[in-house]
Amino acid sequence: MLPPKALLDSISTHAGRLLGSENPLPRAEIEAQLKALLQSGFSKLDLVSREEFDSQMVVLARTRARLEALEDKVAALEEQLNNTP
């Protein structure tokens, strides 16, 4: 994995070549090539999609709820144990 600065420098260099070429490309072609360039750069970073992030947040919330329920049960059992003569 490239360091972030090196990756951004590489993307910038490629984008400069694409936009500064003497043979002007149609706008749609430039957009397609820039999109491919950015996707290539992003794939080299340790990123997750929004969908994956959202699904992990759901798992985390569910896990926290289960943990809280278990903590409540343990507290109730400890109270029962302490109140037993």
41/6 Cα distance (integer angstroms): 10
Cβ(14)–Cβ(37) under 8 Å? Answer: yes
Segment 32-61 mean pLDDT = 86
Segment 10-29 mean pLDDT = 72
How sure is the predictor about 63, in pLDDT bands with cuts at 50, 70 and 90? Answer: very high
pLDDT at position 33 over 90:
no
Segment 63-69 mean pLDDT = 97
CA-closest candidate to residue 30, choices 42, 17, 43:
17
Interacting residues of 45 by C-beta distance below 8 A, sequence separation 6+ = 1, 4, 7
Q: In terms of DSSP H, where are the helices of the chain?
A: 4-19, 27-43, 50-83
pLDDT at position 10 over 90:
no
